Amino acid sequence: YFSVAPSLFGDLASRLHKWELTNDQTRIVVEKPFGRDLASAKALNASLAEHFDEGQIYRIDHYLGKETVQNLMAVRFGNMLFEPLWNSQYVDHIQITVAETVGVGGRGDYYDRSGAMRDMVQNHLMQLLCLIAMEPPSKFDPDAVRDEKLKVIRALDPVAPHHVVRGQYDASPDGPSYREAVEDPRSRTESYVAMKVGISNWRWAGTPFYLRTGKRLVARSSEITVVFKELNHSIFGEKQDHRNTLSIRLQPNEGITLNVTIKEPGPGGMRLVDVPLDMTFADALGEEAEDPPDAYERLIMDVIRGNQTLFMRGDEVEAAWAWTDPIIAGWETRGDVPKPYDSGSAGPGDAVQMLARDTRVWREVKP
């Protein structure tokens, strides 16, 4: 289990081999970060490939071990209900939020060389995006699933500069600012990023995906929300502002909420109201759902069982970097400076404006 600096991966692999500590049954687990750009990820893949087959390499992204993340696939492909609507004809847009309350803490040295884009978007948010957007694999098998995820990444549009907002948290009474935490008063690394992403394929052309993640935000809350389109015609006359939304809460309080429009009870005409069909897994499924196993427990068990479905394949990681690299390169060339935001807020106001330009609003970040 290589939970070490990536610069050691190649040496570890070759020495394990040299001292005959491996055979064709050996599996190696590789922690993130898997490279910091496409070139370094390719070099890492090549150095591991010298001594191990792809089937022996388990690249961990612990988000794939989270119960509710796997549930994305169960909800989509285990129900007849959603899949027919899961496309640009019915879906207005999709929001993916991974909000954290923690700051960079004692990891300033690593984090300041990465930023939210490399630390969260290239891997965790990318995986969530893939699971939400991918075509149904023909079966729940490692390569069938990973082939479909790879197609999503390869169909991602390049991101225009005005479709990205970067932020850096300010100091608050209960914590230092980002720049103080990383001990660099001029750091230009982002602790927050929000972006509008397009997927150029038959299913999603025209439906934007809004992604955001940040540290020192108002709540620890990860959620994916599918916002369906407005009715194309209302028989009730009034201007409709009712939309169905399907929210999948990854953490905390794992669960799913479907907002449906019904008649407001009582006399006096037909007034419509949106109500949640709410299923908190802990309520519906009892104790086991209340305390799901740690993501790593699940993933390590899969390594022992030899199941790679929830691990990233080499080509997937490379494709994710190929999309990420130009975005980061653009910031570097332009000398982009992240926008400051208040610790304990929902992030920089520019992110709100980015959606407002599209006449949309972010979901509230709440615990």
The catalytic residue positions are 124
Does 254 help bind ligand BG6 (rule: CB under 6 A)?
no
**Which residue's Cβ lies closest to ligand BG6?**
119
Q: Nearest 10 degrees: CA dihedral of 293, 277, 73, 292?
A: 0
Q: Does position 100 bind ligand BG6 by CB under 6 A?
A: yes
Q: Is 32 helix (H, G, I), strand (E, B) or coil?
A: coil
Q: Quote the Cα angle for 50-303-321, to 5°.
A: 55
Compute the least distance from the CB of residue 321 to ligand BG6, in Å: 16
| 146: amino acid identity, one letter | R
CB of 105 to ligand BG6, least distance (A): 9
Kindly tell me the sign of the dihedral angle through the C-alpha atoms of 71, 77, 78, 79.
positive
**CA distances to 102, 252, 294 from 291, in Å:** 21, 11, 9
Beta bridge partners of 256: 248, 279
Residue 45 or residue 97: which is nearer to ligand BG6 going by CB? Answer: 97
Instruction: Name the residue with tokens 């612990």.
Output: 62
Q: CB of residue 250 vs ligand BG6: minimum separation in angstroms?
A: 8
* 116 within 8 A of 55, measured Cβ to Cβ: no
The whole-angstrom separation of Cα 282 and Cα 67 is 12
Cβ distance to ligand BG6 smaller for residue 119 or 254: 119
Count of residues touching ligand BG6 (by CB under 6 A)? 2
Cβ of residue 155: shortest distance to ligand BG6, in angstroms?
25
Closer to ligand BG6 by Cβ: residue 44 or 199: 44
Binding string, 105-134, against ligand BG6, x = CB under 6 A?
--------------x---------------
- Is the Cβ of residue 100 or residue 302 nearer to ligand BG6 in the bound state? 100
Q: Residue 232: what residue type?
A: N
Tell the smallest beta-carbon distance from residue 61 to ligand BG6 (Å): 8
Tell me the CA distances in angstroms from 367 to 70, 104, 253, one per residue in order: 21, 20, 9
Closer residue to ligand BG6 (CB): 127 or 259: 127
Cβ–Cβ < 8 Å for 310, 299: yes
Judged by the rule CB under 6 A, the positions of this chain that interact with ligand BG6 are 100, 119
